[in-house]
Amino acid sequence: KMAAMPDEYDQIEDFFQTILNTVVEAGTPHLVLDIRNLVFLNSSGIKSLCVSFVMEADENEGLELTILARSSITWQIETLPTFKDLMAQLTIQFEE
């Protein structure tokens, strides 16, 4: 469950940025984000995922991102496909 208060999203965004910096510095070409157990995400959380992670990842040329999701979680089915507009090298894998 990711329903943090607005000031807590800064910490989440910093965490995402640290992950991306580490991946880029290591020269890792592929990153996997597993959100299959993330049942609830409010609009601020979606913004954090979108802006702070997917769009930042897109700025790193050559980096491929895979998001693992569940087809049984409504917000994931409705929201994640729109992320593909933000990053060319994004793959979304839906599982049951």
pLDDT at site 6: 62
Q: Which residue type is seen at 64? A: E
pLDDT at site 1: 44
pTM: 0.86
Rounded distance between C-alpha atoms, residue 72 and residue 15, angstroms: 27
Q: Exposed/middle/buried for 58, CB within 10 Å: 0-12, 13-18, 19+? A: middle
Write out pLDDT tens, residues 5-63: 566 777 888 888 999 999 999 999 999 999 999 998 888 888 878 777 899 999 998 99
